[in-house]
Amino acid sequence: MSKLIAQKEGVEYLLMGNEAISRGALEAGVSVACGYPGTPSSEIIESLCRVAKEGNLYVEWSANEKVSMEVAAAASFAGMRSLCTMKQNGVHVASDFLLHLAASGIRGGMILVFCEDPGALSSVNEVESRYFAPMIEIPLLEPANFQEAKDMTRWAFELSEEIKNIVMVRSVTRLSHGSGNVIFGKLPNTKRQAEFRCDGPILDPDTGLVFSAPVVYKHQLQQEKIKRAEEIFERSPFNTYEGPEKPGVLLITSSICYLYCREAISLLGVEDRVGVLKFGATWPLPPSFLKRHLSLTDKILMVEEVRPFLEERVKILAAGMAPEMGIKTFYGKETGHFPSVGELNPDLVVSALGKIMGINSYVGMPADYEKKAQALASTKNPQRDLTFCPGCPHRASFWLIHNALQMDGRRGFVCGDIGCYSMAILSPAGGFGVMKTLHSMGSGTGIAGGFGKFGQFGMEQPVLTVCGDSTFYHAVIPALINAVHHRANMILIVLDNGGTAMTGFQSHPGLTVNAMGEEAPAVDIARICEAIGVKVEIRDPFDLEETRETINRLLEDEEGVRVLILRQICGLSPEKKAAKRYEVRIDEALCLGENCGCNRLCTRIFRCPGINWDRQKKKARIDEVICAGCGVCSSICPAGAIKREEAA
């Protein structure tokens, strides 16, 4: 049994931040949990999937974030508690529904957990979705440690029911993916009955219609709810102050930066001179609570990652309080004490605080540390690309797309999309650098559909786009329909590797099993395309020559939208992992190495991590531990030196 559903009130467990969030939802009696996978949020739904049966939950990986929020909202309308999760930009996908949901209000407690990625460690953006809270006028909570991740999640449901609106809970990579001790609370024994009551007076929040009109009336209602939340936040135990009665400097912070503040104070040994005002309930910011603490000092340092969200709100409130409270000096992003991009760390807090206090006793990481480390690494370590895994079908697919475009010779290009295959944009000079645009999920097809209409303005370049199977269901379908209807001249290549591979093989609508492991009808991509009126071909990217010829034929065939599905399962998928199709070896007598006729095609251009270059022997070498046995390299070796045999 998973510890997540252990009836161990008061017992301390080591949990990952995302698991702590799941536990918090379980302690709140959540019935329905939905999400779309995205780092660093995925483990919340994944861990709930594992306890769905025992915990009597309904858990799904939805087709996209908006749908996930809609399914969760339905649960709330039926009186149950529900959770939906996504990464930071997922909120933008869901935002249209979120806007209207916040206006209609909810019934059962409903929370949106969004996990942000400051520094974009696993993203192509580092957007601050905290701003949705003031924009859409809903409360925002920011846990600052692992215990709070659980406790605030549980409390968020209560808050949601108290104000009858959705509540946003924000995590960040270091909280979601870090682990810490969490003391468990009680798990409820019963689940609510699902019933949608809709026969009452139309404006009745519990039995009437669920919609955002009359708009001005409902908007007024929504703002009263926020006022109520503000009152609750004045007394919230998650907003805390630690430090001396009259601190020389007050740090105001939230989220994981709270831990950086504590560490910085300890490193500088200024516990007696610096206080920390930590906000867990961040929006709406409680003014009285804030004023009490601003009054303790004149110097305030705002510590938060990426945008100055708290800083702006605190300054606005402080401006209003100035006649009574006096004028304070604020330090933060606008004074250049912190960057407005990337992650923070304790050293950055030490440096900013030291500057304000005139202390330079502690030197954290020297300024040139990173430079020195990189210089050292580049001499001692082999160069490592961000590249496709051994056995990855995308390597073969982009090899073929690249070759086909070179052969076609009309400077064709690929509009990229979000998945492991996004890495094709990172190799401009190598064998795969064909991807030239990369934005949000589904945008590759939308953009290609635009490019595909510009023939009348003299555009002669062939236009391709790629998407993964999960991305296809997520947001490609409307863009594809648009392109078909408008007769755009483009090719969509669906890189179907049989799962949501990048985030860890979560299920999607194309598979026969759902998130809870139940049998599910697979929605067939080819049949969807055919129904839209597109001619579809299906190839295996490991059949190099046939597939390359197909791509070239499709490029020649300049009529409307053409779809090619390249189907080959991900090399790391659970069903394929560790199962080598071929044993691969190098016949050194045949290997041409650096000579004219090869010039290390396999290790210089193809660059599968499973093949190494033996500098002494000047021959290629298979790394048997790394090699996944796909056998594609043996098809590209010009000398026939890479031998493959069916694995036993």
Partner 1 sequence: MEDGGMGQRELQREVIDTHLCTGCGACVGLCPYQTSYHDRIILLHPCDIKVGRCYMFCPRTPTNLETMRKSLCEEKDLTPEIGAVKGFYLTRATDEQIRKDAQHGGSVTTLMTLALREGIIDTAIIAEGKENFLHRGVAVNDPAEVKKRGKSKFIVSPTVAEFNRAAKGEAKKIGVVATPCQVLALAKMRLKPVPVDEGNIDKLKLVIGLFCGWALSWRGFMELLRKKTGLDAVVGMDIPPRRHTLEVYTKDGTIEFSMEEVNSCIREACHYCFDTTAEFADISVGSARLPGRWEETRIWNQVIVRTQRGDDLVQLARAGGLLEFREAPGEALDELKKSAMEKKRTALKSIAARSGSSPDLLYLDRFDPVVRMLQG
- Minimum distance, C-beta of residue 596 to partner 1, in the bound complex (Å): 5
Category of 593 on φ-ψ map: left (φ > 0), alpha (ψ -120 to 50) or beta: left
> 235: Cβ–Cβ under 8 A, 6 or more apart, which residues?
none
DSSP one-letter string for 314-347: HHHHHHHHHHHH---EEESTTTTSS-SSS---HH
Q: Which is nearer to partner 1, 220 or 406 (CB)?
A: 406
Q: Which is nearer to partner 1, 234 or 408 (CB)?
A: 408
315 exposed, middle or buried (CB, 10 Å; 0-12, 13-18, 19+)?
Answer: middle
- Minimum distance, C-beta of residue 395 to partner 1, in the bound complex (Å): 14
- Minimum distance, C-beta of residue 599 to partner 1, in the bound complex (Å): 5
| Angle at which helices 477-485 and 525-532 cross, to 10° | 30
- Minimum distance, C-beta of residue 560 to partner 1, in the bound complex (Å): 19
Q: Which is nearer to partner 1, 154 or 402 (CB)?
A: 402
- 441: helix, coil or strand? coil
Q: Which is nearer to partner 1, 229 or 637 (CB)?
A: 637
Q: Are 166 and 229 spatial neighbours (Cβ–Cβ below 8 Å)?
A: no
Q: Which is nearer to partner 1, 149 or 601 (CB)?
A: 601
* SS3 of 542-603: CCHHHHHHHHHHHHHCCCCEEEEEEECCCCCCCCCCCCCCEEEEECCCCCCCCCCCCCCHHH
- Minimum distance, C-beta of residue 541 to partner 1, in the bound complex (Å): 17
- Minimum distance, C-beta of residue 608 to partner 1, in the bound complex (Å): 15
- Minimum distance, C-beta of residue 545 to partner 1, in the bound complex (Å): 11
Q: Are 299 and 249 spatial neighbours (Cβ–Cβ below 8 Å)?
A: yes
> 485: Cβ–Cβ under 8 A, 6 or more apart, which residues?
none
Q: Which is nearer to partner 1, 1 or 596 (CB)?
A: 596
Q: Which is nearer to partner 1, 216 or 589 (CB)?
A: 589
C-alpha to C-alpha distances, 438 to 474, 500, 560, nearest whole angstrom: 16, 18, 22
Q: Which is nearer to partner 1, 409 or 458 (CB)?
A: 409
* SS3 of 102-152: HHHCCCCCEEEEEEECCCCCCCCCCCCHHHHHHHHCCCEECCCCHHHHHHH
Six token digits for residue 246: 């009259």
**Chain residues that interact with partner 1, rule: CB under 8 A:** 402-403, 406-409, 429, 431, 552, 594, 596-599, 601, 605, 636, 638
Q: Which is nearer to partner 1, 123 or 547 (CB)?
A: 547
- Report d(CA 463, CA 560) in Å as an integer: 11
User: Tell me, what DSSP letter sits at residue 392?
Assistant: -
Category of 136 on φ-ψ map: left (φ > 0), alpha (ψ -120 to 50) or beta: alpha
Give the containing element (helix H, strand E) for 468: strand 463-468
Q: Which is nearer to partner 1, 14 or 407 (CB)?
A: 407
- Minimum distance, C-beta of residue 420 to partner 1, in the bound complex (Å): 22
613 exposed, middle or buried (CB, 10 Å; 0-12, 13-18, 19+)?
Answer: middle
Q: Which is nearer to partner 1, 11 or 407 (CB)?
A: 407
Q: Which is nearer to partner 1, 275 or 431 (CB)?
A: 431
- Minimum distance, C-beta of residue 552 to partner 1, in the bound complex (Å): 7
Q: Which of 471, 470, 451, 477 lies closest to 462, judged by CA?
A: 451
Q: Which is nearer to partner 1, 163 or 637 (CB)?
A: 637
C-alpha to C-alpha distances, 638 to 609, 617, 646, nearest whole angstrom: 19, 19, 21
- Minimum distance, C-beta of residue 601 to partner 1, in the bound complex (Å): 5
Q: Which is nearer to partner 1, 56 or 595 (CB)?
A: 595
Q: Which is nearer to partner 1, 113 or 601 (CB)?
A: 601
- Report d(CA 296, CA 310) in Å as an integer: 18
- Minimum distance, C-beta of residue 413 to partner 1, in the bound complex (Å): 16
- Minimum distance, C-beta of residue 429 to partner 1, in the bound complex (Å): 7
Side chain identity, residue 158: E
> 592: Cβ–Cβ under 8 A, 6 or more apart, which residues?
598, 638, 639, 641
Side chain identity, residue 281: A
- Minimum distance, C-beta of residue 584 to partner 1, in the bound complex (Å): 18
- 633: helix, coil or strand? helix
> 377: Cβ–Cβ under 8 A, 6 or more apart, which residues?
none
Tokens 């030196």 appear where?
A: 641
- Report d(CA 377, CA 440) in Å as an integer: 33
- 204: helix, coil or strand? coil
- Minimum distance, C-beta of residue 390 to partner 1, in the bound complex (Å): 20
- Minimum distance, C-beta of residue 430 to partner 1, in the bound complex (Å): 8
Six token digits for residue 543: 């059949």
